[in-house]
Amino acid sequence: MFYLSQSRTSYKLITGFFWHGGCKPILTPQIPSSKLLPLATTDSEPAKLHYWRAVGLLNYLVACPRPDLAYSASSLSQFLSFPSHDHELAFMHVLRYLKGTSTWGLWLGRRGDNSSIVAYCDSDWGLNYDSRSFSGSCVFLYGISLMFLIMIIYSEHE
């Protein structure tokens, strides 16, 4: 049985943005019945970069162990061009939810089952006739492919 969690990233997100963890946890990841609206311009470039970093870390959490944050991250990502104070408040609401659920994650497997993850990787650097390399990997859990990734990397010869 495997447990996927990003509690350290959650803690970094909570303590690194807007306050130092001194907030009261809440039960919902988004403000109920709130509607975020786009803004024509933003106040400052540093505020925009701060918002980009915050939403980027939130999306990192959504990628694997926290699908419960997906809708909130998606709605906040729509306003990356011109974030407003309302968008920051919505993000702080997500942080309060994250504080109460920072140890949450995904369990893979069944209790009492001690299966293992099997991974294979292969790359071919010798047959790059047209300046391309080819690599692939496959990860199995319970004999089922979790991920099949093929990357073709174009390189330019000088």
pLDDT tens digit sequence for 84-130: 888 888 888 998 898 888 888 877 776 666 667 777 766 555 554 55
pTM of this structure: 0.64
User: Which pair of tokens denotes residue 51?
Assistant: 């918002």
pLDDT score, position 14: 79
Token pair belonging to 63: 């990628």
- CB-based contacts of 126-131 (< 8 A; 24+ apart in sequence): 128/155, 131/155, 131/156, 131/157
Q: Between residues 54 and 142, which one has the greater pLDDT?
A: 54
Q: Mean pLDDT score of the chain, rounded to an integer?
A: 73
Picking from 104, 102, 80, the residue whose alpha carbon sits closest to that of residue 91 is 80
Helix, strand, or coil (residue 148): strand
Q: What is the pLDDT averaged over residues 134-158? A: 53
Q: What are the two backbone dihedrals, phi and then psi, of residue 62, each rounded to the nearest 5 degrees?
A: -65, -30
Q: Would you say 9 and 61 are in contact if contact means Cβ atoms under 8 Å apart?
A: yes
Sequence ranges of the domains in the chain: 2-106, 115-154
Give the whole-angstrom CA distance, residue 61 versus residue 38: 24
